[in-house]
Amino acid sequence: MSDVTAIPASPLASRPGFGSASHVRVEPLGPRVRLNLRLRDEAGFGGVEQAFGVALPREACRFTDRDGRRALWLGPDEWLLGASGESGALVASLGGALAVIPHSLTDVSHRSTAISLSGLEAANLLNAGCPLDLSLRSFPVGMGTRTVLAKAELVLMRVGEEAFEIDVWRSFAAYVFDFLAEAAREYA
């Protein structure tokens, strides 16, 4: 990866959050680095973990995070790495750790934006358009997966007992945000 560009502003940057802390609160999140890592050779795991500062989860649909960095298992050889800051140094560090190991590391920061949902009704709000069982028993804290909300594909992570983060493609961000706003009217 030789060309690293700045992360564009979120298409939701000018939109205020909505809802209440007691029922459900929805807010756009700021820009973040997103890297898609494809890696089959377990010999590379240690180097990635040292360079990134977070262990790669080995269990399906789980994420690990620390100090503003997150690694989400998306498939048997695929992780979504997220962090704040600039992608250039991070890509260089990870690339160096994997220099002799077959891999793919792609900066996809420009592709997506994030939305936060929190409150007692956050899971119910998501279930207005998401077919997953979002009970704590079935979708515990630390779980994340690709899914759909209404007609949009996204990545959904449970970051707290009553808190979720959505990573959605920029072209669907306004649609998802508006869908959530309409569904949240029930809790107004």
Tell me the pLDDT tens digit for each residue of 83-123: 987 788 889 999 889 888 999 999 999 999 999 999 999 99
Query: Token pair of 32, please?
Result: 């973040």
Q: Residue 20 has what pLDDT?
A: 82
Confidence of residue 5 (pLDDT cuts 50, 70, 90): low
**What is the number of alpha carbons within 13 Å of residue 3 lying toward its C-beta?**
1
Fold of 16-31+111-188: Gyrase A; domain 2 (3.30.1360)
**Every domain range in the chain assigned CATH 3.30.70.1520:** 32-108
Check residues 150 and 22 and name the one with the higher pLDDT: 150
Cα 68 to Cα 53, 81, 98, 157, distances in angstroms: 10, 11, 22, 15
Long-range Cβ contact pairs of 131-134 (< 8 A, separation 24 or more): 132/156, 134/158, 134/164
Q: What mean pLDDT is reported for the chain?
A: 92
pLDDT at site 87: 81
CATH for 32-108 (3.40.50.2300, 3.50.30.50, 3.40.50.300, 3.30.70.1520): 3.30.70.1520
Residue intervals of the chain classified under CATH 3.30.1360.120 are 16-31+111-188
d(CA 110, CA 8): 6
**Cα-flanking dihedrals φ and ψ of residue 39, to 5°?**
-155, 120
Which amino acid, residue 130?
C
- pLDDT digit string (tens) for 28-45? 998 899 999 999 888 889
